[in-house]
Amino acid sequence: MPGLVGSFPAKAAKLRSVPPAPSVSVASCDGLAPTTLDIGVREQPLTIRRDLGLARLNELSKQARHRSVHAILGFYAGSVGFTAPDIGVLARTSSRADLGATCPHLEIKSEVVAVDRQIAIASELHSSPCRLRAATAHYERHAAIASRALHRFAAELPTKLGPEVDRYVHSQPSPPGAGDNQLRDLVEELLTRSVAEFAAQLAVLQQEADTPDEVRRLAPCDDI
């Protein structure tokens, strides 16, 4: 079962269009350094529950419109979001136009966070050590796939979002500072959009994990 994905604590909002960069850079801060984006990863420990029966698991799978190529023996699920961005200034440099003015080199920090990470294993499997081991290993692989995907997602975000943030920064009459609420809102909106895209990609990755070889690992025990 694919993980559930949301965004927190940032509010969901319709993404604003980012204004194009002006043809001439802001004179006071010509050549402003690109914004540094630092995106970390935090994952809650994985938990395992064995209190749901097969009938309930199949009901949940139908509600989620999850199509499985093997019998439902459990699921892996989790929620993914992000922490509110922290905007700071790495350094200040003198402007070219006015030696009395300074140009900020902005740094934006946030974390993508995986919470409520859990594996559910059908309660009926308690009586079959073979089925229990096979199902647990199967859904642990699903959890590992989700974790690796989350780390790749976080590593790619600076390259993906950096140009959009810099377009906004360079479009302003003067460079925004650490307390710029419009910049903060923009970053939250960009992260919200990216997390939603990650949710769709993660669902596909989880389906692709059920390869013929993976299904064959379950087959000797898949007789309930």
> What predicted TM-score, i.e. pTM, was given to this entire model?
0.78
> pLDDT, tens digit, for every residue of 106-147?
889 999 999 999 999 999 988 888 888 888 999 999 999 999
Residue 101 buriedness (CB in 10 A; 0-12 / 13-18 / 19+): middle
> pLDDT, tens digit, for every residue of 150-187?
999 999 999 999 999 988 888 877 767 667 788 899 99
Instruction: Outline where the chain has alpha helix (H).
Output: 54-63, 129-171, 181-208, 212-218
Percent of the chain with pLDDT over 70: 76
Single-letter code of the amino acid located at 211 = T
Given pLDDT bands bounded at 50, 70 and 90, which one contains residue 11?
very low
Neighbours of 53 (CB within 10 A): 11
Mind spelling out the 3-state secondary structure of 46-77?
A: CEEECCCCHHHHHHHHHHCCCCCCCCCCEEEE
